[in-house]
Structure 1
Amino acid sequence: MPALDSPGLIFCGRDDGTIVLYDRRTATQIRKLHGHKSAVRLMAWCGRRNCLLSVDAWGSIILQHYAGDRVGQTTPTVLFQTRLPSGKVVAGMLVADAAGNFILSTAVADHIFNLEDGRLECDLVPRDGEAALATRKWILDPRAPVTHVLCVEESCVRVHAWAGGCAEVARFSLAQLMRPAERDSGAPVTPAHSRNATAYTTGREARILLEFVMQNEPASPLQLALLNLDFEVGQALSRSGKGPDTNHAFGRMKTTVDDTDGKSKAPPAAAPATTVLSLTPIPLADIAHVIGISDTNRLVFLDRCSWVCSVDLAASACVGDSRRRRHQAEEDGESDPVPSAPAPTQRHFYIPDVWFAGWGWMSYVSALAQRDIVLTRGGNLAVVRGGLDYAEAAPCD
């Protein structure tokens, strides 16, 4: 559900294949656009090109262009219409507008397309004997979105360069996420299952917000952690600086495109990751769904009592880091006399239970557009204008 800050429009894909354009100021329908023959699953707005990219449940891909800045008043032009050759269900999409590519992910592979003409450039598939992870999430590296892209998995972060067929140029292991209570008690730790990853910047620092749930506990609240991108983007590039070093490219993945004889060949395996990136836990309880990150770096989320809330990410990270040091000190037999109070959380508004009746938290789509909250489920759309302007302190547990 792409929401355009200017001129205040919202694109919504429906299960009947249509794409509907709404006015964000009034939540009224403006018009229906050229749609699909099956349910629309993913959409993204390409701001540099004034284009809307959409993918349906059958793997059909459409790119529509809007002339000038009159997005809601002109009939879009279909630039290309193609489909995913494998016929697999598309589970994720990333658009790299500046790089001129987009990635479609299925349960078994990732597919790199050209954004100009819809041409499939290459497929990234697992090596023989390895399994694709269904929880991988592609995000643009906020420090170098034109040249690099990140693939976040449950155990590592892989850095890929758009040059050379989206080659993997570096890999970093992730520290295991565990609940402090389990760690302190010595009980077995339940592995965390990655659900989503969102990149954002604060000052000169780039970070990734990671969302986890505990495996075998689908009803458990979300766990959050912050990952600092403090590694060098180009540290695994070739010494000549002309592109990725093929001796260290494609760690877990291989490309099906080969310019010599057209056959699939697996490049040499990348060296195992030696650097472990630490995670800073965000100590927030009862998070049901993350809505987004505001322009002031406040995390906006829905709690399990149906309240839309927000909290300052920097303050939460400080609390999480303090608690992590305290737990480490306790494990080392030391004492930490400084208590860490939770970061203050604000409540903004309540969503009636009837909105979720028959659907549940995970069956609706939400978006954050400036200070407006957009909610949709079952073909209904609601816009809470200035939803973050109304705030009260949330009660402490």
Structure 2
Amino acid sequence: MRTQVAIIGAGPAGLFLGHLLKRAGVDAVILERRDRAYVEGRVRAGVLEQVTVDLMERLDLGQRMRREGLVHGGTNLASDGDVFRIDMAELTGGSTVMVYGQQEVMKDLFDAAEARGVQIVFDAEDVHPQDIESDRPSVTWRENGVDKRLDCDFIAGCDGYHGVSRAAIPSDVLRTFERVYPFGWLGILAEVPPCDHELIYSNHERGFALASMRSPTRSRYYIQCGLDEKIEDWSDERFWDELCLRLGPEAGAKVIRGPSFEKSIAPLRSFVTEPMRHGRLFLAGDAAHIVPPTGAKGMNLAVSDVVMLSEALVEHFQDGSDAGVDHYSARALARVWKAERFSWWFTSLTHRFPDRDGFDRKMQVAELAYIKGSRAAQITLAENYVGLPLV
């Protein structure tokens, strides 16, 4: 088999890239080690930046998103129960975010891929990029017990943090930057109306809490927890009690309780690897960077990566120029680090750290009070939250 671009991974980065290349007339094949049901069913992010919403529209994938998604023009911060709103639309000249779950985005991407002939190979085992430093790279894999090989011009590694793409880059080339946080998020999904029509990020003396939603009838709630805690120790009743306490009396009184149908604990980390290109191999999405979910940047960063990467690849194949290819890593990393900074700052502002003392707690409270009273501070928060423009 031969194609122009081999894409490893059929998550958001890989599928968006496949659609972008298909629309531009660039041949691509996506290799995915799981089946569609597994990839589509993973519970992930639910807040789309303006850049992601615009891309969905550009690819003619926005019909269901417009019908079912929830446009948010603001978000809320709470400090020990005192809730105040950040009017993102007013502060940024009209920019908003869209609450539309990653599972729904994936369904739209898969449905359209099938209809438009975006080629995906599922259940591809033992995928390995080959000869990435040559001008004739390839990808090998095993399918139904048969060894396969895909020759290509470039390889896009969109296979996540645990994928094989990053590992194919020599260790003396890669530089890794990481911050592991000493807590996780205990999250639940429940078929109950959300307690507010917009998200609430709460800093409480007992720890962080987040009130969010997936639809007008489905709520997504999180609380900060220790990394050593077990899901089975958290009954629904205990979770609801703790959530309402941390949200404070005003928001907590609006919480409608119900049985959870999904419950999980996710660790938090900040991670970036440089460069995002080596030879004919490019990294995009979680293969190159991880952000804590506090700033809702994970899938959105993957989208900005592949928009930049698609532009570079189209420029190569249609114009014969390698300028975009050569500058992809630096261009993508410039936006990645700004998103990492915001996610790190927002996490540090809203969570309790076990190694910090009363002074640090007072600094959090003071900064939240400053944000509440400062339009300039609110503008900075809002423009980062809705997503910085691509440059």
TM category (shorter chain) comes to under 0.3
Q: Calculate the TM-score normalised by the size of structure 1.
A: 0.25
Give TM-score scaled by structure 2 length. Answer: 0.26
Q: Which structure's residues are more often strand, by fraction?
A: 1
Q: Relative contact order (alpha carbons < 8 A, sep ≥ 6): 1 or 2 greater?
A: 2
